[in-house]
Amino acid sequence: MTDDVIRVALVDDQALMRAGFRALLDAEDGIEVVGEAADGEQGVALVRAEVPDIALVDVQMPVMTGIEATRRIAADPALSGVRVVILTNYGLDSYVFEALRAGASGFLLKDTEPADLLQAIEVVAGGEALLSPSVTRTLIGEFVSRPPDRATAPGLECLTRREREVTALAARGLTNEEIAEHMVISPFTAKTHVSRAMTKLGARDRAQLVVFAYESGLVTARGPAE
């Protein structure tokens, strides 16, 4: 962020939707809309040109989907500071899971209340993932019928016992403060463990850490993996 101003790019094929988001965000002190794009391809170009703090990206768009746009943004080292928030009409569906795997930092329903949208932008700009405990529980449900993908997930051997424990707790939707209380450590220490686990696993943020925890089999829908 520059001078505490959160710079936001809007990527949605519906002009009315972009106009609504822009009017809301432009009226807010501390947030600047740096540009708009009507499809995924234009969105990637916009993000590369402006390097915003946040990209609000619709899931389903012509030319290039929001998922593919997210994947390209996440894969570009020059855009490592950009956080993608997926916009969807349908709640947590398979598209959202794919987007989290592709590198999104979270998601928002398009009918989100204005105050919740503004808070979400601040949360993600601050480096946190937009995954509430209720969202995490729904994510867990996605994994009930999915076997752990240990073939593609990074190895657990790079994590210490403590780092595995905090990763598992984060995957259950616990905040750093709740992890600290559970493990009887300070919130700062909990945050440090989470940050080190993310670094070792190459996770861009907490959202990808949660996806890793389930894909690797570190935790399952029934509890910690043995």
- The predicted-structure confidence for 94-110, as pLDDT tens digits, reads as follows 676 677 778 888 777 77
Q: 70 exposed, middle or buried (CB, 10 Å; 0-12, 13-18, 19+)?
A: buried
Q: Kindly report the three-state secondary structure assignment for every residue of 99-125.
A: HHHHCCCEEEECCCCHHHHHHHHHHHH
- Tally Cβ neighbours within 10 Å of residue 217: 17
| Closest among 25, 6, 22 to 14, alpha carbons compared | 22
The 8-class DSSP code of residue 159 comes to S
pLDDT tens for 56-77 read 998 888 899 999 999 999 889 9
Across the chain, what does the average pLDDT equal? Answer: 80
Give the C-alpha separation, 87 to 112, whole Å. 10
| Cα distance between residue 177 and residue 170, in whole Å | 11
pLDDT over 90 percentage in the chain: 27
**pLDDT (tens digit per residue) in 104-141:** 887 777 777 888 888 888 878 876 665 554 555 555 55
pTM of the shown model: 0.67
Quickly list DSSP for 70-104. Answer: HHHHHH-GGGTT-EEEEEESSSS-HHHHHHHHHT-
* Other CB atoms within 10 A of residue 69 CB: 32
